[in-house]
Amino acid sequence: MIKDCIVESIRDIREAHAKKFDFDLDKIYKDIKESEKTNPNKIIALKPKLLKHTHITKKSS
């Protein structure tokens, strides 16, 4: 498996953040929500896109 240095870096950051809160998901969530309040960048949520129906046919042998 190929190691991606960017992915590894993100995982290290995420691990350090979780460790700071003893891996307690409630504490991690609260911290993220607090940082969102003070973040000057606007956080948006996009509406989900509807999937188009597709028809799958069996390939005859």
Decide if pLDDT at 29 tops 90: yes
60: in domain: no
CA distance 17 to 24: 11
Range of the domain at 16: 5-38
- All residues at 6 or more sequence positions from 31 whose CB lies less than 8 Å from its CB, including other chains: 17, 21
10: in domain: yes
20: in domain: yes
55: in domain: no
Structurally, the chain folds into a number of domains equal to 1
39 is written with which tokens? 């973040």
What is the pLDDT at residue 61?
61
What is the pLDDT at residue 17?
97
pTM for the whole structure: 0.59
